[in-house]
Structure 1
Amino acid sequence: MRFWNETFVVWRRQMRMNLRNPAWVIIGLTQPILYLALFGPLLEPLAAQIGADNAYTFFVPGLLVQLGLFGALFAGFGLISEWRDGVIEAERVTPASRTALLLGRVLRDVVLLAVQGIVLIAIGFLFGLRGSIGGMLFGLLLVILLGAACSAGSNALALTVKSEDVMAPILNSISLPVLLLAGILLPISARSGAPDWLIIASDFIPVKYVVNAVREVFTGVFASSAVLWGSVWTVVLFAAGLYVGTRTFRKENA
């Protein structure tokens, strides 16, 4: 019970900080909406070619994963600022669990991601998104777990490098290949005209399977290999992110 109380205290403080300055939340939501408005119409004539009955039912899941991935992946920059201001050092002298210090921050990112995801799906309906409501909720759950993994990993990296100048190129070198190879914007498949070498390279990107799973469940399909593999990879990434994050926090705060 004490652990969860400590987690709640950290989460509440982090939420207050974000609500006082919601600029990053708004910016994080604005980018996928711009993609939806400016890039989505280009997919409508290509929907049949890429194997989609509805362009937005295909496109919104990719944007949702992009929101969870990039919104949480850069969360660690705030931790560097807190470390520089002495907040982390002040938390270290308290008897609070080191895991709670991480989990409270991850839960903040999860809550923000859930709100942004709901808003994105709602706006998607205005553009023509159609599909299974239950599937959309399950897809949002997968994205939230992926976002939690990215948040934990980002905070761990921030606490390790303690420099925005070092962290920025590392994250960019990770995020760009994932964006291009995971099929977030366009599918990486033979049907879409992708060359064999690109398809093979994309198979090594775990996020690709999450994207495929979210797209499947949005159409109401749950019993498929794509959903199974996407769910498995989501759980693996979630567990790995929390493991790395908690281990780093315990080590750095020992």
Structure 2
Amino acid sequence: MPSEPRSPRLAVLIDADNTSARIADGLFEEVAKIGEASVRRIYGDFSGTRSRGWAEILAKHAIIPQQQFAYTTGKNASDITLVIDAMDLLHSGRFDGFCLVSSDSDFTRLAARIREQGIDVFGFGEQKTPESFRQACRRFIYTENLLPGKIKEEGDTATSNKPLQSPDTASLLIKRVLAQEDTDDGWISLGTVGKQLLNLAPDFDPRTFGFKKLSDLVRKTGQFDIERTEGSPLRIRIRQKPSVEGRAKRGRTRGSAKSPATE
């Protein structure tokens, strides 16, 4: 009997100094969508108050703490230890991807080096994370979208809190993707659009704009035509303006509908 394919093995490395413990549940739920968190390590000085929130939930998520005492002010031993561990794990050849959890741009070169080896990097950090680190990752997830209560109950399409960015911002990105594809009739499958969006902007996420699904975000903008035919995937294109002939035809239709009342 053939065995089921195993989920991608992931190494999850967390910078406790730059990540809130409030995202822990959402973080590992998100990681589970990508693969199996085979390694779970967190780096920081857990003897101080700054990382105390993490110290209280390490056991819940089976996270292994890497204690780094702050012997010298202004020096971040935690970052150095995280990088050393990441390179050791990379060269072991046992992992299909790395999850780097930090809002610190210092990890930009680490992310780029891992990807040079042909291994995917998934970044997790706050919206303030510098663009250099976000772009160095295959995909970057804003940790604000992982906070408790950010998403409504199953079945609702919009998030419960104010979105991080306006849907209009998403419209510009979607239009860029549609323009790049340049099909004869302008229609492109939504799945293709989603993949191209992540290639264009690794931090693209419908949740950032207040929606769970890309299709709901597209509908909300009101700037795209949407089509689904039986047996075919959902397709979108930039909303077409009615032609002069079409407007005239609708005008004649409305006029004929009124004629009995005016006779």
TM category (shorter chain) comes to under 0.3
Which gives a bigger RCO, structure 1 or 2 (Cα 8 Å, sep 6+)?
1
Per the normalisation by structure 1, the TM-score is 0.24
Question: Which one has the bigger strand percentage?
Answer: 2
Per the normalisation by structure 2, the TM-score is 0.23
Question: Which one has the bigger helix percentage?
Answer: 1
Bigger Rg over Cα: 2
